[in-house]
């Protein structure tokens, strides 16, 4: 059976003034695949994610999602994608359930109430559903943002440091849940993280970025072998210090 | 593709309606859960009516004819313009302040759907504060806004459309230059205050300023209001010019918003709204 490509990025370039943030990045993601983008701060990970999501326009190169160009098919494409990042928030005053309902509407979910109930159940948010978002701990807020990111059953889920604010126990359970729901639905995921154990556990393939360029690709074992080190953490240190 | 089972067809009318409803619902619950913002919707209009009503009483006691009607009419109609502009800009700024803007921009919601949702909520809030002000003006000073007659409808429509254009310009300016210029959300309508001839006739303005006023839709409304309240009739041709100017204002505002969004995406400024 042919591998269905969810996303293809080709020769992506972006400069901000004199700084080259992304320089010739090319990779693709197949349905059901979990791909990690790793690299030190300023390597171009978030810029790459934001270009894929249409928040930043590339200087050159192409991005295709589900075989379509985002700029020309924005509504269709973005209805199949979702995004969560540790640096994003939601309006602070509305209750969790109200926020999720609003986002279910924004994604054009058929039965918002039912879908929100499913997400509350899935992310174990029952105790929080009637609380204002601003009164939640950062870990609880992250769970709500993850619930938001699953509302439309995205075919591609983009996660920028998804578990940065979670304690190890909750982080572990969230990783399990993301992998389990992705495996069940054939969802592809594109993840950035500075948690090497998380990346090792979740990602089928990892692209190491440095200076805006992909400098290494492979799974965790392949990368460790290629750099002659024990694990991904040491690969990261080697890439960051080169 | 996954997801089609839980989603309406993204380009269908039902999906578009649902997305607009999402913006309306979100802003409605944000307002309902935020008593200080609810108070704000009625507090400033109340202060304006009470204050200008007292000034009107004072002027009337010194035999300044029609002072009450002219001042209160001006205050009520000015609030329609000012509140409509501010409500649209503030609804957008609340997304900026809560670091929610990127979440909104990665949904399938189009710019026009986002604006429609904000306009619906903004119009409801303005209608609420205007109704309250009109009731107060009648209860405290015996001035009925409806005394303006059938011209009231086009007057309000011209002011609201101008306010929407200014609100869109304020949004675009924040997108273009960043959150540091957010005071434009409160300021912009006041830039037009002297040219709109709200409290005085256009004829008292110096010649060159009058020329600028002729390019401000609101000036035709306030001239028309004074004509009606002093026993005349509004200039319908003037209102037609105001309507055409409104169309130009909205077109320019939308063009500027499109430009600001393209520039923000080009220079990575949208991403900075998450910081």
**Which of A56, A111, A187 lies at the smallest CB-CB distance from B271?**
A56
pTM: 0.90
CA B38, CA B259: separation in Å to the nearest integer? 33
What confidence score (pLDDT) does residue A186 get? 93
For residue B110, which residues of chain A lie inside 8 Å, CB to CB? 74-75
| H or E, element range at A77 | helix A74-78
CA B69, CA B218: separation in Å to the nearest integer? 18
Q: Which of B108, B109, B4 is nearest to A186 (CA)?
A: B4
What confidence score (pLDDT) does residue A3 get? 60
CB atoms within 10 A of CB A95: 17
* Domain encompassing residue B97: 13-272
Q: Give phi and psi for B108, each to the nearest 5.
A: -75, 0
Interface of A with B in 132-171 (CB under 8 A): 132, 148, 152-155
Interface test with A, best of B91, B97, B274 (most A CBs within 10 A): B274
CATH 3.40.50.300 location in chain A: 1-80+166-242
CA A210, CA A20: separation in Å to the nearest integer? 11
Interface test with B, best of A72, A91, A118, A130 (most B CBs within 10 A): A91
| CB of A90 closer than 8 Å to CB of B101 | no
The tokens describing B137, both together, are 């003006």
* pLDDT one digit per residue (tens) for chain A, 242 residues: 556 789 999 999 999 999 999 999 999 999 999 999 999 999 999 999 999 999 999 999 999 999 999 889 999 999 999 999 988 999 999 999 999 999 999 999 999 999 999 999 999 999 999 999 999 998 899 999 999 999 999 999 999 988 887 888 888 888 999 999 899 999 999 999 988 989 999 999 999 999 999 999 999 999 999 999 999 999 999 888 87
Number of domains, chain B: 1
Q: Which residue has the tokens 């904000």?
A: B118
Q: Which of A80, A19, A33 is nearest to A52 (CA)?
A: A80
What confidence score (pLDDT) does residue B1 get? 47
Does residue B4 lie within any of the structural domains?
no
CA A204, CA A33: separation in Å to the nearest integer? 6
For residue B22, which residues of chain A lie inside 8 Å, CB to CB? 102-106
| CB of A39 closer than 8 Å to CB of A239 | yes
Residue of A nearest to B34 (CA): A93
Does residue B3 lie within any of the structural domains?
no
What confidence score (pLDDT) does residue A89 get? 93
What confidence score (pLDDT) does residue A4 get? 72
Interface of A with B in 7-36 (CB under 8 A): 14, 16, 21
Q: What is the mean pLDDT of each run of 10 residues along chain B (275 residues)?
A: 74 96 94 84 82 81 78 91 93 93 96 96 91 89 86 94 97 94 92 93 91 96 92 91 98 98 95 85
CA B95, CA B118: separation in Å to the nearest integer? 11
CA A172, CA B77: separation in Å to the nearest integer? 58
What confidence score (pLDDT) does residue B3 get? 45
Q: Which of A134, A93, A96 is nearest to A117 (CA)?
A: A96
* Homologous superfamily, domain A1-80+166-242: P-loop containing nucleotide triphosphate hydrolases (3.40.50.300)
What confidence score (pLDDT) does residue B7 get? 94
What confidence score (pLDDT) does residue A26 get? 97
- B108-133 in b/e form (b: 16+ CB < 10 A) is bbeeebbbbbbbbbbbebbeebbeeb
Question: Across the interface, do B110 and A95 touch by the CB < 8 Å criterion?
Answer: no
**Which of B2, B23, B268 lies at the smallest CB-CB distance from A186?**
B2
Please enumerate in sequence order all residues whose Cβ is within 8 A of that of A14, keeping only pairs 6 or more positions apart, or say none: A20, A21, A22, A44, A47, A51, A56, A58, A59, A212, B268
């Amino acid at each position: 059976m042919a591998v269905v490509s969810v996303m293809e990025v080709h020769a992506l370039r972006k400069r901000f003034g004199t700084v080259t943030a992304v320089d010739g990045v090319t990779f693709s993601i197949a349905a059901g695949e979990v791909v990690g983008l790793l690299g030190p701060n300023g390597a171009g990970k978030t810029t790459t994610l934001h270009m894929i999501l249409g928040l930043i326009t590339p200087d050159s190169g192409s991005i295709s999602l589900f075989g379509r160009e985002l700029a020309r098919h924005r509504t269709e494409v973005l209805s199949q994608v979702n995004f969560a990042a540790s640096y994003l928030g939601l309006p602070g005053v509305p209750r969790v359930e109200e926020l999720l309902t609003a986002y279910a509407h924004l994604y054009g979910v058929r039965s918002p109430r039912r879908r929100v109930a499913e997400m509350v159940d899935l992310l174990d948010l029952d105790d929080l559903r009637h609380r204002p978002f601003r009164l939640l701990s950062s870990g609880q807020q992250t769970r709500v943002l993850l619930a938001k990111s699953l509302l439309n059953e995205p075919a591609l889920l983009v996660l920028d440091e998804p578990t940065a604010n979670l304690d190890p126990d909750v982080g572990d359970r969230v990783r399990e849940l993301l992998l389990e729901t992705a495996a069940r639905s054939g969802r592809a995921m594109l993840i950035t993280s500075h948690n090497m154990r998380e990346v090792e556990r979740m990602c089928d393939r990892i692209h190491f970025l440095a200076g805006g360029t992909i400098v290494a690709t492979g799974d965790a074992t392949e990368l460790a072998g290629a750099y002659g080190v024990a694990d991904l953490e040491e690969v990261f240190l080697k890439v960051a210090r080169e | 593709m996954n997801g089609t089972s839980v989603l309406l067809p993204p380009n269908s009318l039902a999906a578009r309606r649902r997305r607009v409803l999402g913006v309306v619902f979100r802003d409605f619950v944000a307002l309902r859960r935020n008593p200080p913002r609810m108070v704000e919707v009625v507090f400033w209009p109340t202060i304006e009516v009470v204050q200008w009503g007292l000034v009107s009483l004072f002027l009337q006691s010194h035999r300044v004819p029609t002072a009450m009607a002219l001042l209160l009419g001006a205050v009520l109609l000015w609030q329609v313009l000012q509140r409509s502009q501010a409500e649209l800009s503030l609804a957008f700024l609340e997304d900026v302040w809560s670091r929610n803007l990127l979440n909104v921009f990665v949904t399938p919601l189009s710019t026009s759907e986002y604006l429609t949702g904000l306009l619906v909520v903004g119009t409801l809030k303005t209608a609420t504060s205007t109704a309250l002000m009109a009731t107060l003006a009648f209860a405290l000073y015996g001035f009925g806004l409806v005394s303006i007659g059938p011209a009231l409808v086009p007057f309000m429509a011209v002011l609201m459309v101008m306010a929407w254009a200014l609100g869109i310009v304020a949004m675009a300016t924040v997108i273009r230059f960043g959150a540091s210029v957010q005071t434009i959300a409160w300021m912009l309508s006041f830039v037009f205050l002297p040219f709109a001839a709200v409290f005085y006739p256009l004829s008292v303005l110096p010649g060159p300023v009058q020329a600028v006023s002729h390019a401000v839709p609101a000036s035709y409304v306030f001239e028309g209001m004074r004509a009606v309240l002093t026993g005349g009739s509004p200039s319908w041709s003037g209102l037609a010019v105001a309507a055409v100017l409104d169309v130009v204002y909205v077109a320019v505002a939308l063009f500027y918003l499109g430009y600001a969004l393209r520039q923000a995406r080009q220079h990575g400024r949208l991403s900075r709204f998450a910081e």
